[in-house]
Amino acid sequence: MHRFLLFLISASSWASFGTSKIIHSISDLQCSEYDFIIIGGGTAGSVLANRLSENPHNKVLVLEAGINNAGIQDVQVPFLGVTLPETSVDWNFTTTPQVGLNNRSIELARGFVLGGSSSINFMAWNRGSQDYWNSFVTATKNQMWSFTALEKYYRRTSTLVPPADGRDTTGDVDPTAYGNGPVQVSIPGFMTEIDNRVTESGKILGGRFSFIEDLNKGKTLGFAYAASSIGNGTRSSAATAYLEPILKRKNIDVLISTRVARVTGHAASKGITHIDTVEILQNPGDIPHQIKASKEVLLSAGVMGTPHILTLSGIGPKKVLKNLGINVVVAAEDVGANFADHPLVANYFSVNSNHTWDPVLRDPSLFAADLSEWVNSKQGLFVDTAGNTYGFMKLPHGFADPSTGPRSANTEIIFVNGFAPFGATIPPTTGSYLSMLTAVVSPTSRGTVTTVSRDPFAPPKIDLNIFTTDFDISAMVQVMKDARTLISASPWDGYIIGPFGELANATTDDQLATFARNNAVTVNHPVGTARISPDNARYGVVDSHLKVKGTSGLRVIDASVLPQIPECHPQALVYTIAERAADLIKADHGLL
C-alpha cells in the first residue's frame, strides 16, 4: 500500500551504517531492512536489543514511541519515582468508569520513555514464586518455563549490590537469591524508624505475618526488606542496565519519538501469514513509513501497546476487527482479553513522630537539602523508593485461594514512612503519617483493552473490571484489617495515634469495602492481554515459544504474554522472560 515510501528510507545501504546513536527522525535511519526489529524500547525490548546485538552480524532496530531517559533526574532519583505518573514519561492511560469503584475512572501509568515502565516504576524486585512459574508450565504445557529451568535466565538479569549506606545486611537479604546480570538490585540504603517495626512485628506475630529473609528464593510469602532495582542510590532500569551500555555497538539503531502503527506481511504456507514489515510514523496524520525485518519482528510494546498494534494489524477479536473495518489476518479472541491488575488502597494512620518524610514534601528547603544530598553523595532519604518494607500474605482459612499455590500470596501490604498520595484522600498540610498500601495480588476480576479507532495515536478503551468479584473486594477488606493487626503489635506501642480521614469512620466490613471502592487505584501491574497458551490450543495469542499464532516472523515478548497475574511485583518476571526469549530467538536462527 505504501510501498513507494520504502525508497525514502532505503537510500543508504548497510555498508554505510555508522556509529549507532539514538535517532529522533525516521529520515536518519541508516537502513531500510534490519535482521530484527524490536517494537518498544521498554523493559523487555531493551533486554532483546542487548542480547540480539551481541553478535555484530545482526542488525537490530529498536522503535520507541516515547522520549529518551537520559538526564531526567526524576527518573534517576528513586524517591521521586512516585512523581512520574502523568508527566512527560507517562502514556497517561485512563480506564472507563469502573462499576466496582462506584463509577470512578482511574489513571494507569505506563512508561513513555526508553526503558518503558522500568524507567517509571516503583522498583520493587520480585522473582515470582515457584508455584507461579510452575503454573506457567501448566498454562503452556512446556517445561521450559519452570522455576528451575528459568533459573539461569533469572540470574542473567540482575546482581545484588550493597545498599547506599553500605551497612551490614546479614539476615536482611540472602545474596544466594541473586545472579550476575546488568540490573542492579539492593535493599534500602536509608533506614527509617518504621522499617524495623515492620520486620520485628513479623517476628513477634508469626504465622501469616512471619518475617522472611528473602522473597526471591521461590516463596513469595512473608514480611521483608524490599529488594529494589536500585544501585548506588540510583534507579537501575532496562534503559540504564541493558540499553545505554550497548549504544556504542555499530549494529544497533534506536529510533525514539516514533509510533508503530501496525505490522504487515504476506500469505505464506498453510494459512500462515509471514510478518516482515513494520509501519511507523512520528506525528498523527503522517503517512506511515515501512521498514523490513529479514529475520523477525519482536513486539514488546507492553500490555496496552501490544494488543493495540496486533489489532491494527488484523490480529484480534473478529468483532473488534469488523467494527473497525480491518481485514482479519488472524482471528484471535484473546487479544486484549485477560487483562488483570492488582487493586491498591492507601490506609493512612496519624503517628507520633517527627521523623516521617511528610515535612520534606511540605517544605521546599528540606526537599532541596535532601535532593542535594542525593546529587552530591548519593546518600539520604532520596536513595530509596517510598516503601522500604512490605509483606505478602495468605488470606485466613475460610477464604478461597485463587493463587497459583502454597508459596504464592493473596494480598500485600507496603509500608510508607509518610503520607503517600494514592487515591482520593487529599494530603494533609500538618501532621505525621504512616501509609499502609494494601493490595490484592491474586485478584479474580479480568478486564479488557480494546482498540476503538484505526488512528494509531488514539488510546485504546481500557476496562479493568476491578472489584467485580466477591473474592477481590473481600480479600481487600481482609488485608485492610490485617494491616491494622500488624500495627497493633508491640513495636508500634506509642507510635500509632489512629486511622486518618474517612478511614477513621470505617470499622465494619461494609464500611471498609465502601472505603476501598471510593479510594482504590492499582499498583500498575497489569498483564495478560496477549496471553501464552499451549502450541496446539485454539485460545491464547502466542504459543509456548512466544510466536503469534497464525503467523511466522512475529513474537510477543512483554508482560502481555503472562498467562495469569503474578502474586508479586512483575518486573523481574518480564526481564526473565525476555532473557529466555533472546535465547529462543538465537537458537531459531542458528545464533546461539
Ligand X SMILES: *[C@@H]1O[C@H](CO)[C@@H](O)[C@H](O)[C@H]1NC(C)=O
Ligand Y SMILES: Cc1cc2nc3c(=O)[nH]c(=O)nc-3n(C[C@H](O)[C@H](O)[C@H](O)COP(=O)(O)OP(=O)(O)OC[C@H]3O[C@@H](n4cnc5c(N)ncnc54)[C@H](O)[C@@H]3O)c2cc1C
Residue 69 binds which entry of ligand X, ligand Y, none, with Cβ cut-offs from 5 to 8 Å by kind? none
Assess 259 for contact with ligand Y (CB under 6 A): yes
Residue 137, C-alpha cell as written in the block: 508450565
Beta strands at 234-235 and 230-231: parallel, antiparallel or unpaired: antiparallel
CB nearer to ligand Y: give 356 or 524.
524
Residue 336 binds which entry of ligand Y, ligand X, none, with Cβ cut-offs from 5 to 8 Å by kind? none
Subset of 106-125 contacting ligand Y (CB under 6 A): 109-112, 116-118, 120-124
End-to-end CA distance of the chain: 36
**Shortest distance (Å) from residue 398 CB to ligand X:** 29
The residue within the footprint of ligand Y, chosen from 302, 380, 423, 443 (CB under 6 A), is: 302
Q: Which residues bind ligand X (CB under 6 A)?
A: 86-88, 90-92, 99, 102-103, 112, 231-232, 352-354, 501-502, 504-505
Run of H or E residues at 61: strand 60-63
The residue within the footprint of ligand Y, chosen from 574, 581, 582, 585 (CB under 6 A), is: 574
**Shortest distance (Å) from residue 3 CB to ligand Y:** 21
CB nearer to ligand X: give 496 or 537.
496
Assess 335 for contact with ligand Y (CB under 6 A): no
Residue 78 binds which entry of ligand X, ligand Y, none, with Cβ cut-offs from 5 to 8 Å by kind? none
Instruction: Find where cell 524486585 sits.
Output: 125
* 590 CB burial (10 A radius; 0-12, 13-18, 19+): exposed
Q: Distance (Å, rounded) from C-alpha 185 to C-alpha 87? A: 26
H-helix segments, 144-187? 147-157
User: Given phi > 0 = left and psi -120 to 50 = alpha, else beta, which region is 516?
Assistant: alpha
Assess 127 for contact with ligand Y (CB under 6 A): no
The residue within the footprint of ligand Y, chosen from 38, 42, 340, 349 (CB under 6 A), is: 42
Catalytic positions? 525, 569
Long-range contacts of 135-142 (CB under 8 A, 24+ apart): 135/404, 135/405, 135/563, 135/564, 136/532, 136/563, 139/531, 139/532, 139/533, 139/534, 139/563, 139/564, 140/532, 140/533, 140/534, 140/544, 140/563, 141/534, 141/535, 141/544, 142/534, 142/535, 142/544, 142/545
Binding residues for FAD: 113, 260, 570-571
The CA angle 189-194-195, to the nearest 5 degrees, is 45
CB nearer to ligand X: give 232 or 474.
232
Binding residues: 113, 260, 570-571
Q: Distance (Å, rounded) from C-alpha 337 to C-alpha 179? A: 34
Q: Distance (Å, rounded) from C-alpha 559 to C-alpha 577? A: 9
**Shortest distance (Å) from residue 558 CB to ligand X:** 18
CB nearer to ligand X: give 431 or 534.
431
Assess 300 for contact with ligand Y (CB under 6 A): yes
**Shortest distance (Å) from residue 228 CB to ligand Y:** 7
**Shortest distance (Å) from residue 530 CB to ligand Y:** 10
Residue 354 binds which entry of ligand X, ligand Y, none, with Cβ cut-offs from 5 to 8 Å by kind? ligand X
CB atoms within 10 A of CB 248: 10
DSSP track, 398-439: TS---SSSTTS-SEEEEEESS----SSPPPPSSS-EEEEEEE
Least Cα distance to 202 among 439, 482, 391, 408 occurs for: 391
CB nearer to ligand X: give 112 or 382.
112
CB nearer to ligand X: give 103 or 105.
103
Residue 32 binds which entry of ligand Y, ligand X, none, with Cβ cut-offs from 5 to 8 Å by kind? none
3-state DSSP helix/strand/coil percent for the chain, to nearest 5? 30, 25, 45
The residue within the footprint of ligand Y, chosen from 20, 32, 41, 50 (CB under 6 A), is: 41
Burial track 15-25 (b if 16+ CB lie within 10 A, e otherwise): eebeebebbee
Subset of 541-560 contacting ligand Y (CB under 6 A): 558-559
Q: Which stretch binds ligand Y (CB under 6 A): 6-14, 206-214, 244-252, 296-304?
A: 296-304
Residue 571 binds which entry of ligand X, ligand Y, none, with Cβ cut-offs from 5 to 8 Å by kind? ligand Y
Subset of 43-102 contacting ligand Y (CB under 6 A): 43-45, 63-66, 85
**Shortest distance (Å) from residue 480 CB to ligand X:** 16
**Shortest distance (Å) from residue 206 CB to ligand Y:** 27
Q: Assess contact for 62 and 253: CB atoms under 8 A.
A: yes
* 464 CB burial (10 A radius; 0-12, 13-18, 19+): buried
Residues that bind ligand Y in the complex, under the rule CB under 6 A: 39-45, 63-66, 85, 109-112, 116-118, 120-124, 259-260, 300-302, 305, 309, 524-525, 558-559, 569-571, 574
